[in-house]
Amino acid sequence: MANVKGEALPEGSQRILGRDAMRVNMAIGYAVANILKTTLGPKGMDKMLVSDLGDVVITNDGATILEEMNVDHPAAKLMVEIAKTQDKEVGDGTTTSVVIAGNLLKKAADLIDQSIHPTTVIKGYELASQKAISLLNELSEKVTLEDKDVLIKIAKISMGSKGIGSDKEKESISKLVVSAVEQVADKKNGKILVDHDLIKIEKKSGGEVVDTQLIQGVLVDKEIVNAGMPKSLKDAKIALIDSALEIEKTETDAKIEITSPEQMEAFLRQEEKMMREMVEKIKKSGATVVFCQKGIDDVVQYHLAKEKVSAIRRVKKSDMEKLARATGAKIVSTIEGLTSAELGNAGLVEERKIAGESMVFVENCKDPKSVTLFVRGGTEHVVSEVERAVVDCIGAVSSVLEDGKYVVGGGAIEMELGKKLGEYATEIGGREQLAIQAFAESLEAIPRSLSENAGMDSIDTLVALKNKHKDKDGVNYGVNVLKGNVADMKKENVLEPAKVKKQAITSATETARLILRIDDIISSRGRSGGMPGGPGGMGGPGGMDMGE
Domain with CATH 1.10.560.10 in the chain: 12-141+407-536
Query: Each residue of 327-360: pLDDT tens digit?
Result: 988 998 888 878 888 898 899 999 988 878 888 9
- 288 included as an active-site residue: no
Higher pLDDT pick, 179 / 522:
179
> Confidence band (pLDDT; 50, 70, 90) for 544?
very low
Most confident range, picked from 78-82, 98-102, 540-544: 98-102
- Find the helix or strand (DSSP H, E) in which 219 lies: strand 218-220
The CATH superfamily of 144-216+368-403 is TCP-1-like chaperonin intermediate domain (3.30.260.10)
Lowest mean pLDDT among 245-254, 351-360, 490-499, 520-529: 520-529
pLDDT at residue 149 tops 90: no
Give the residue-averaged pLDDT of 211-223: 88
Say if residue 177's pLDDT is above 60: yes
The CATH number assigned to the domain with range 12-141+407-536 reads 1.10.560.10
Q: Is 61 labeled as catalytic in the residue annotation?
A: yes
* pLDDT tier for residue 451 given thresholds of 50, 70 and 90: very high
DSSP letter for 90, please: T
Dist. CA 63–CA 90, nearest whole Å = 12
Q: pLDDT at position 445, please?
A: 92
The mean pLDDT of 213-229, rounded to a whole number, is 88
Span(s) in the chain for CATH 3.30.260.10: 144-216+368-403
Spatial neighbors of 367 by CB under 8 A, at least 6 apart, are none
Identify the H or E element spanning 418. helix 412-428
pTM above 0.75, yes or no: yes
Start-to-end C-alpha separation, the chain: 25
Spell 29-39 as b/e; 16+ CB within 10 A means b.
bbbbbbbbbbb
pLDDT per residue over 383-413, tens digit each? 888 888 888 888 888 888 888 899 998 889 9
3-state secondary structure 6-54: CCCCCCCCEEEEHHHHHHHHHHHHHHHHHHHHCCCCCCCCCEEEECCCC
Is the pLDDT at 189 greater than 90, yes or no? no
pLDDT score recorded for residue 436: 93
List, by residue range, all CATH 3.50.7.10 domains of the chain: 222-349
Catalytic option among 39, 59, 85, 94:
94
- Residues with Cβ within 8 Å of residue 473, at least 6 apart in sequence: none
| Domain 222-349 bears CATH identifier 3.30.1490.20 | no
pLDDT in tens, 127-142: 999 999 999 999 998 8
Better-scored residue on pLDDT, 487 or 197: 487
Write out the H or E segment, with its range, that includes residue 77: helix 74-89
The mean per-residue pLDDT over the stretch 55-61 comes to 84
Of 205-219, 259-273, 276-290, the poorest mean pLDDT is in 259-273
Q: What is the mean pLDDT of residues 160-164?
A: 69
pLDDT of amino acid 124: 93
Question: Looking at the predicted structure, is the pLDDT value of residue 125 above 90?
Answer: yes
Model confidence at 535: pLDDT above 70: no
The question of whether 94 is a catalytic residue gets the answer yes
- Mean predicted lDDT score pLDDT of the chain: 84
36-63: average pLDDT = 85
Residue 395's closest CA among 199, 113, 191, 228? Answer: 199
Radius of gyration (Cα) for the chain, nearest Å? 29
Angle between helices 18-37 and 94-113 (to 10 degrees): 150
297, 392, 403, 488: which is the annotated catalytic residue? 392
Q: How far is CA 535 from the centre of its chain?
A: 22
**CB atoms < 10 A from the CB of 431, how many?**
16
Catalytic-role residue among 59, 85, 95, 327: 95
Q: Is the pLDDT of residue 548 over 50?
A: no
Please identify which of the residues 39, 61, 96, 488 carries the catalytic annotation.
61
pLDDT above 90: residue 126? yes
